[in-house]
Structure 1
């Protein structure tokens, strides 16, 4: 099916090149991330161990434009006008993006404009979208973004925006997660985090063009909402995010299907963090996540490497370092025996 898209817009997964159908985008590590670090991935290449030496065209002028834009791939019943959800929501988002004193205040508006002018799409997501949509803007701590720009190209656009606006910050791309971030010249506080719409179809970090696939890669339905700051729409690809967010107690439902023990441990850790954050205010229902974790044996963590334990210990300290161990264990136990075992190990300060 042909979709009306401009040739000056980006290549998307589902478009067709002379070599085959686009399946997504990879990235090769570089000291200075740039568009030439991005790699075009084709259908049938999921068995590759690393991205091929195939650049991503700057625009769709050299491909057959067959793919639907990301928002058109979402069931129309799961895309909502922001002001239909809450008449004050568009203004709340605009005010939060420009909030005086917020780390992102100077960069958010110019960055969104830069991405728009490059004919790409960008959404606010993660905790930023969740808390503002829920009417809890005062709980927002970070600017989380996603979109169609591959990581190398995104970093180039961010640097161009920085020069145009006389701003100072350092840019970085994590080769493991493909998360693009920026920090002040001195200090580690991140101004934003951006990750291209994700896909788990490859054996190496890769990204794509589909909101549904990206939502399936996230931890919980309430963190799988996408706010368009230009068109002021909210996409809920799972069909459950808005309902789980509005429920009282709030429902923490994991749709995460990956079986990697480190990924599963991360789900447990974040589930305990959110449950403790909300338990004394709106409450938190974790049965959906417990059901997802029910198949895990108590030995699930036995094979984790020392480096994985070090990462988990860091994440645990950052998320729950000041929280009473008894409360942590109490919530972890509601997630099942494997989760309780994990927290027993973490609270023993395993190296």
Structure 2
């Protein structure tokens, strides 16, 4: 693994030898033009007109072309892909489906292989991770803070980490995928925390769910020390979870980079689009453990964590990176923000102006809009279960008053949740805290349309990872 120095974006995963990109104009659809064509001639990349093609081999990425149609990303299907022969790509057998322009209008992912070998017309025109961000948003972890590399790497490679974690990163990297720590680990450690504050590990990457699960299966099969349980998978959210037997070490939760605009769960390979799906800008930081880089895809996370300030009173700004319209997504984002407001209520420098402005713009009848959905009752139960997991027993009177001061949408949402009964078939609240039943890793919202649960099924949960 490349764990040495070098130019920043030379060291981005999946882009060996590619020069650090500069800010350029791009055509509609995200393709770089002009200047990069000259760079490509010295890096083995192919040039087709003004479009630079990545050299094979490697996985398919968002922005590639198949039969002239642009690749959106990857969906998942529970059953095997129909084939004329028994042989086939293992990731396909685990459910990965390739999504192309036009598939956003279908009710579910098509029966289309995600194996590059099955697409002879594949043009690798999509932007690999190293070409998606300019140098201002890519930072050496060692430049951000002394000892940060050791703290972050220790979560994956340290003596207390299960051995499979480092092996899994190596395996995904060798398959041509990017993999990054996300959520609480980079956020809290960059903000000056210690590893003990990191509960479970969130990760994201370019590998779709089937490819990730295949890598986990093969790594765990060779790891006789950690004796992990089989990985678990939620088709509803595309979250893959790897648990330790006795929960005495951190759980790993993985979801591919987020992809919006489809009526079913899907992932892609675009760093910025993923960042816009997260709940707060402070949760958009990513850490590349192979190149020891901290990525700030939107360019706001380090500032909002007060990285430029000195001392214990430095700023911590809570701001949503996006403005979702779906009422359930808005309610979940509001509750996630409330979780952090309660967690950090005594922290000096907490700045909530941006969050307050967003909440005040939410419709005052937000609960009624959730009621109007076909799956309204199930969504209320899911939201209430999330809230109980994040704030057991609910907020104190003072905390509740502070949250209600954010406006009518927040006040009415809290009032509605306080009247809901979480018990399902006699199961007490908190009785289903296995990671595979959670909605999404910490900081990541699931923007896919809601799947109605059977009346006797426990709802998906999203624990505080």
Distance 2:164 2:398 in 1: 38
1:150 aligns with 2:205: no
Deviation at 1:18, TM superposition (A): 2.2
- The answer as to whether partners of 2:182 and 2:283 remain within 8 angstroms in 1 is yes
Deviation at 1:346, TM superposition (A): 2.1
1:301 aligns with 2:377: no
Deviation at 1:200, TM superposition (A): 0.6
Q: 1:61 to 1:120 in 2, by over 3 A?
A: farther
Q: Secondary structure at the match of 2:203?
A: strand
CA deviation map 1:181-217 (0-9, x unaligned): 1224577987211111111121111111100000001
CA deviation map 1:308-351 (0-9, x unaligned): 12111211111111564213313322432111111122233455
1:222 aligns with 2:282: yes
1:65 aligns with 2:128: no
Q: Secondary structure at the match of 1:108?
A: helix
Of residues 275-284 and 313-322 in structure 1, the stretch that sits farther from structure 2 once superposed is 275-284
Deviation at 1:3, TM superposition (A): 4.4
* 1:77-88 pair list within 5 angstroms: 77-88=136-147
Match of 1:20 in 2: 69
Q: Secondary structure at the match of 2:339?
A: helix
Match of 2:400 in 1: 329
Distance 1:287 1:111 in 2: 40
5+ long unaligned stretches in structure 2: 1-49, 81-89, 423-465
| Structure holding more helix per residue | 1
Match of 2:221 in 1: 163
Residue among 303, 308, 318 paired with 2:389: 318
Distance 1:76 1:111 in 2: 27
Distance 2:386 2:260 in 1: 22
Distance 1:30 1:106 in 2: 31
Match of 2:355 in 1: 289
Of residues 159-168 and 62-71 in structure 1, the stretch that sits farther from structure 2 once superposed is 62-71
Match of 2:190 in 1: 133
Distance 1:202 1:40 in 2: 13
Deviation at 1:279, TM superposition (A): 1.8
1:112 aligns with 2:161: no
Distance 2:408 2:163 in 1: 46
CA deviation map 1:72-116 (0-9, x unaligned): 212321111111212321111112324555xx5333212111111
CA deviation map 1:119-150 (0-9, x unaligned): 21101111111112212133111111000101
- The answer as to whether partners of 2:63 and 2:126 remain within 8 angstroms in 1 is yes
Deviation at 1:295, TM superposition (A): 2.4
Of residues 191-200 and 86-95 in structure 1, the stretch that sits farther from structure 2 once superposed is 86-95
Distance 2:398 2:171 in 1: 45
Residue among 283, 292, 317 paired with 1:251: 317
Q: Secondary structure at the match of 2:105?
A: coil
TM-score by length of 2: 0.70
Match of 1:202 in 2: 262
TM-score by length of 1: 0.91
Match of 1:347 in 2: 418
In terms of Rg, which structure is larger?
2
- The answer as to whether partners of 2:381 and 2:420 remain within 8 angstroms in 1 is no
Q: Secondary structure at the match of 1:269?
A: helix
Q: 1:59 to 1:282 in 2, by over 3 A?
A: farther
- The answer as to whether partners of 2:387 and 2:394 remain within 8 angstroms in 1 is no
* 1:256-295 pair list within 5 angstroms: 256-295=322-361
- The answer as to whether partners of 1:75 and 1:237 remain within 8 angstroms in 2 is no
1:240 aligns with 2:300: yes
- The answer as to whether partners of 1:11 and 1:59 remain within 8 angstroms in 2 is no
Of residues 270-279 and 91-100 in structure 1, the stretch that sits farther from structure 2 once superposed is 91-100
Q: Secondary structure at the match of 1:169?
A: coil
Residue among 36, 52, 76 paired with 2:110: 52
Structure 1 vs Structure 2 CA RMSD: 2.4
Distance 1:100 1:188 in 2: 14
Deviation at 1:44, TM superposition (A): 2.6
Q: Secondary structure at the match of 1:24?
A: strand
Q: 1:154 to 1:220 in 2, by over 3 A?
A: same
Aligned residues: 347
Distance 2:117 2:255 in 1: 19
- The answer as to whether partners of 1:155 and 1:180 remain within 8 angstroms in 2 is yes
